[in-house]
Amino acid sequence: MSHYESVFILNPALSEDQVKDVIKKYEKLLKENNCNVVEVENWGLKKLAYKIQNKLSGFYVLIDFEKNDASNIIDIYELELKRDERVMRFLNVKLDKDANNWAIKRRKKLKKVNA
């Protein structure tokens, strides 16, 4: 089973409801392509290190997901991200065993802090 992390930055002009709609869109896309969405984290509005599309801030979102077979879901997913004008930047990473273990520990720590 392959494990992936996807981080994308959304336009700061979006409302909270619009941000939630974008997140739901990509969750649905992954689930329709037989991915297991492990975790979705909305990190909120953050200041950018440098201007992107003349913006100084953006909404950060992290989606952890797993995929059993070797399909082309990443190609489909990245194509959708590129086409979406609300997405300013994105990064998708396939995690190795050690990175996946670290992600699991990070999620457990976040759940303790938020509990």
What is the band of 58 on the pLDDT scale with cuts at 50, 70, 90? very high
Q: What is the pLDDT of residues 97-111, one digit of tens each?
A: 888 778 778 777 777
Q: Specify the pLDDT at position 107.
A: 77
Per-residue pLDDT, averaged over 77-87, amounts to 95
Burial of 53 (0-12, 13-18, 19+ CB in 10 A): exposed
In this predicted model, which residue has the larger pLDDT, 20 or 101?
20
Helix, strand, coil shares, percent, the chain, to 5: 40, 45, 15
Give the H/E segment covering residue 43: strand 35-52
CA 69 to chain centroid, in Å, comes to: 20
Strand order from edge to edge, sheet including 35-52? 35-52, 55-67, 2-10, 87-95
What's the pLDDT at 115? 61
Q: Where are the domains of the chain?
A: 2-114
Whole-prediction pTM? 0.86
Percent of the chain past pLDDT 90, that is, above it, reads 65
Whole-number Å distance between alpha carbons of 43 and 9: 10
CA distance 88 to 81: 9
Contact, 92 vs 5, CB < 8 A? yes
3.20.20.70, 3.30.70.60, 3.10.450.50, 3.40.50.300: CATH of 2-114: 3.30.70.60
Residue 26 has pLDDT above 80, yes or no: yes
- Is residue 114 predicted with pLDDT exceeding 70? no
pLDDT of the residue at 2: 87
> What residues pair up with 35 in beta bridges, in sequence order?
67
| Separation between Cα atoms, residue 28 and residue 73, nearest integer Å | 13
